[in-house]
């Protein structure tokens, strides 16, 4: 069972623009890979109470860490538009969030995930036009 303080039931994606109370982001059906090994094809990614948790489809924790220690990027060979690399506790995981998790407002789950990480870290959200430049 998970030691991050929430269950797989709380982590379920509610679909109609929301998640369980206290959860900033949740997506199911996420492919989670470590190097070239697939850990789960239907996992869950949850951001709650300042922590990121990677869970299997039945709620078993793969890894978790405070969001301020998690880094993300797209520096993985064969990376696709719907996948991202997250470094959690020094381990690189490739997270692939497909079309199944697209919300009704049209926001792709990967973009929503990145926004949730930024807000959980206390950083302002980026505009749709891109990063602001100071002159």
Tens of pLDDT, residue by residue over 53-95, are 999 999 999 999 999 999 998 765 666 678 899 999 999 999 9
Average pLDDT over residues 92-116: 75
pLDDT tens digits along 15-31: 333 445 567 899 999 99
Q: What is the pLDDT of residue 8?
A: 46
3-class secondary structure per residue, the chain: CCCCCCCCCCCCECCCCCECCCEEEEEEEEEEEECCEEEEEEEEEEEECCEEEEECCCCCEEEEEEHHHCEEECCCCCCCCCEEEEEECCEEEEEECCHHHCCCCCCCHHHHHHHHHHHHCCCCCCECCECCCCC
Q: Using the predicted structure, report yes or no on whether residue 97 has a pLDDT greater than 80.
A: yes
- With cut-offs at 50, 70 and 90, classify the pLDDT of residue 34: very high
User: Could you tell me the pLDDT band of residue 112, with boundaries at 50, 70 and 90?
Assistant: confident
Task: Evaluate if pTM is beyond 0.75.
Answer: no
């Amino acid at each position: 069972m998970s030691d991050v303080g929430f269950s797989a039931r709380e982590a379920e994606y509610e679909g109609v623009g929301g998640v369980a109370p206290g959860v900033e982001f949740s997506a199911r059906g996420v492919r989670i890979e470590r190097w070239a090994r697939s850990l789960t094809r239907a996992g869950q990614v949850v951001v709650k109470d300042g922590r990121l948790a990677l869970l299997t489809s039945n709620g078993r924790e793969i890894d978790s860490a405070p969001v301020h220690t998690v880094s993300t990027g797209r520096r993985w060979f064969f990376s696709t538009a719907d996948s991202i690399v997250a470094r959690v506790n020094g381990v690189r995981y490739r997270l692939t969030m497909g079309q199944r998790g697209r919300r009704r407002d049209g926001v792709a789950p990967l973009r929503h995930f990145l926004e949730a990480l930024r807000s959980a870290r206390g950083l302002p959200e980026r505009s749709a036009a891109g990063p602001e430049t100071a002159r």
